[in-house]
């Protein structure tokens, strides 16, 4: 049996990327339940159009293109119909006890700083620096020119450095007088 069924091909080519897609969706949406919904939508769309996918091309990049399309579509729905949180959830999220100061930056600090940069820049930083896509692949995934990817990556990295410098200062790492002065 030389040929795989469509179902077997999908399992073999698309499913290994599930965890990477979920991690990126979580960073983009900020909520596990929304990320789960988006990734489910990605795989549904991928399954429906898998007959168009050409074996031997970059399935991971193809799935990320679907992911960014789904996130943008979902964002429009979320902004149109915002969900009201229960009082307890609101208080838990917004009135959390202060975290003890550590000696170094943590993964949580870095992820929090990443969450604070605008979505267009965060998307490029995630694709190029975290998921290690080439500029050309990121350009295709986001449907923007390569120059836009490079520009957003540069600005995104700068904003991320600024966010992390502020976090580091709050931990007593570094000095308040930064080189270049910022804006």
Domain annotation for the chain: domains and CATH numbers:
1-83 (1.10.1740.10), 94-175 (1.10.10.10)
- Angle between helix axes 107-116 and 18-29 (nearest 10 degrees) is 60
> pLDDT value at position 77?
62
Give percent of the chain with pLDDT exceeding 90. Answer: 40
Predicted confidence (pLDDT) per residue in 23-48, tens digit: 999 888 888 888 999 999 999 999 99
Produce one character per residue of 12-42: b if its CB has 16 or more CB atoms within 10 Å, e if not. Answer: ebbeebeeebbebbbbbbeeeebbeebbebb
**Would you say 138 and 131 are in contact if contact means Cβ atoms under 8 Å apart?**
no
pTM for this model (two decimals): 0.60
Mean pLDDT, the chain, whole residue set? 79
Phi/psi for 6 (5° steps) reads: -60, -40
Please report, for residues 15, 29, 80, 124, 163, the alpha-carbon distance to residue 75 in angstroms, rounded to integers and kept in the order given: 24, 8, 8, 17, 24
Q: What angle do CA 159, 71, 7 make, to 5 degrees?
A: 130
**Would you say 21 and 63 are in contact if contact means Cβ atoms under 8 Å apart?**
yes
> pLDDT value at position 15?
94
What 3-state class would DSSP assign to 71?
helix
> What is the average pLDDT across 67-92?
61
């Amino acid at each position: 049996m030389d040929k795989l069924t469509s179902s077997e091909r999908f399992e073999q080519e698309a499913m290994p990327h599930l965890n990477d897609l979920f991690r990126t969706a979580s960073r983009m949406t900020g909520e596990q339940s929304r990320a789960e919904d988006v990734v489910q939508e990605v795989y549904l769309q991928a399954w429906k159009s898998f007959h168009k996918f050409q074996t031997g091309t970059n399935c991971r990049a193809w799935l990320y293109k679907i992911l960014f399309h789904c996130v943008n579509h979902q964002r429009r729905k979320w902004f149109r119909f915002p969900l009201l949180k229960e009082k307890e959830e609101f208080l838990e999220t917004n009135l959390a006890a202060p975290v003890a100061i550590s000696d170094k930056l943590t993964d949580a600090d870095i992820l929090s700083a990443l969450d604070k940069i605008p979505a267009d820049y965060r998307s490029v930083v995630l694709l190029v620096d975290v998921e290690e896509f080439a500029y050309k692949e990121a350009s295709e995934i986001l449907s923007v020119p390569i120059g836009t990817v490079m520009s957003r990556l540069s600005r995104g990295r700068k904003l991320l450095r600024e966010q992390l410098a502020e976090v580091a200062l709050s931990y007593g790492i570094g000095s308040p007088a930064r080189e270049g002065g910022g804006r």
